[in-house]
Amino acid sequence: MTYQTALAALGDPTRRRVFETLKFGPQAVGAIARGMPVSRPAVSQHLKVLKEAGLVTDRPNGTRHLYYIDPKGITAIRAWLDQFWGQTLAAFQSEVEFEEKNRKEKRLSKIATVTPVRKTIRVSAPPPRAFEIFTAGMSRWWIKTHSINKSPIKDITMEGKVGGRWFERGEDGSECQWGRVLAWEPPGRLLLAWQITQNWQFDTDFLTEVEVRFIADGTGTIVELEHRDLDRFGAAAEDMWKAFDSPGGWTGLLENFAKEAA
């Protein structure tokens, strides 16, 4: 491996971001792809290029592979960079910082293209029962720490009608609204207005949509959830996407829902 090959591999901003992710330790493709602006197959392709360049290696871990930085690749780049000092190195650093700034600006300019968070899960309950547990039974599966109230959650209410409120009630009786019902079509479809901002406060003038579909699958139900219009979070859109897509977001919430609907 030569430093030219390594530098060429790192010339792509997305590939460089994949490489930078590995500085925290070995990771599987799925973990690396989470939060990336490209698909999982694209991340695999970037890892292939990095591996061919000698910057990344991998090892089997059960049914998957863990990728990590190859120290020998870093050594080759360092040996090349060591010959540059003083003014030349300062100029190189300025160029890298300028490119990074441009990358961030381009990322912010693409906020309007933030993809929705989409989740699919199968539950054992038939659609009418699944719909009832998701709506009227939300208090039973919602993560209780996910609250915007000062008082701990006592229950969560979703009024079963278009325009109905979606809110939490604290143990002290106080209420904090989360949003409202935009479409109520049991047992097949539910559309909610999520009106909680990136500051985790309710705002009547703010709205993103959460659509949930309940599709019969034998004796059970396929539940499809889409949280969209995340570009409305502005500069915080990418961070909010990560939050909603995380185990503490819709991923974990739907797992709890599936257990309740078993």
**Residues 154-201 pLDDT 10s:** 999 999 999 999 999 999 999 999 999 999 999 999 999 999 999 999
Q: Which of 76, 109, 142 is the last residue of a domain?
A: 109
Q: In this predicted structure, what is the pLDDT of residue 113?
A: 72
Instruction: Provide mean pLDDT across the span 69-94.
Output: 76
Same domain, 131 and 239: yes
Same domain, 59 and 188: no
Q: What is the mean pLDDT of the chain?
A: 91
Instruction: Provide mean pLDDT across the span 62-71.
Output: 90
CATH of the domain at 243: 3.30.530.20
Residue type (1 letter), 18: V
pLDDT at 104 over 80: no
Same domain, 131 and 249: yes
- Neighbouring C-beta atoms of residue 175, cutoff 10 Å: 12
CA 81 to chain centroid: 36
Place of tokens 């909610």: 192
CATH of the domain at 7: 1.10.10.10
Same domain, 165 and 227: yes
Q: How far apart are CA 173 and CA 177, in angstroms?
A: 13
Same domain, 72 and 140: no
Q: Which of 109, 132, 165 is the last residue of a domain?
A: 109
Same domain, 14 and 88: yes
Look at residues 141, 136, 122 and name the one whose alpha carbon lies nearest to residue 216: 122
Same domain, 99 and 208: no
Q: In this predicted structure, what is the pLDDT of residue 128?
A: 98
Q: How large a percentage of the chain has pLDDT more than 90?
A: 69
Q: How far apart are CA 257 and CA 262, in angstroms?
A: 9
Q: Which of the two residues, 104 and 138, has the higher pLDDT score? A: 138
Instruction: Provide mean pLDDT across the span 151-155.
Output: 96
- Cβ partners under 8 Å of residue 65, min gap 6: 28, 29, 58, 59
The CA–CA distances, whole Å, from 34 to 37, 38, 190 equal: 9, 9, 27
Q: How large a percentage of the chain has pLDDT more than 70?
A: 94
Same domain, 231 and 127: yes
Q: In this predicted structure, what is the pLDDT of residue 102?
A: 77
Same domain, 41 and 59: yes
Q: Which of the two residues, 139 and 4, has the higher pLDDT score? A: 139
Same domain, 209 and 126: yes
Q: Which of 94, 109, 124 is the last residue of a domain?
A: 109
Q: In this predicted structure, what is the pLDDT of residue 147?
A: 97
Instruction: Provide mean pLDDT across the span 34-56.
Output: 90
Q: In this predicted structure, what is the pLDDT of residue 141?
A: 98
Q: Three-state DSSP class for 232?
A: helix
- Count how many domains the chain has: 2
Q: Which of the two residues, 67 and 94, has the higher pLDDT score? A: 67
Q: Give residue 87's pLDDT band: very low, low, confident or very high (50, 70, 90).
A: low
The CA–CA distances, whole Å, from 184 to 132, 155, 210, 230 equal: 12, 20, 12, 22
Which tokens in the block code for residue 20?
Answer: 């930078």
pLDDT at 109 over 80: no
Same domain, 163 and 51: no
Same domain, 235 and 182: yes
Instruction: Provide mean pLDDT across the span 6-27.
Output: 89
Domain extent at residue 65: 3-109
Which tokens in the block code for residue 123?
Answer: 């539950």
Q: Which of the two residues, 31 and 194, has the higher pLDDT score? A: 194
192-243 pLDDT, tens digit per residue, is: 999 999 999 999 999 999 999 999 999 999 999 999 999 999 999 999 999 9
Q: In this predicted structure, what is the pLDDT of residue 108?
A: 60
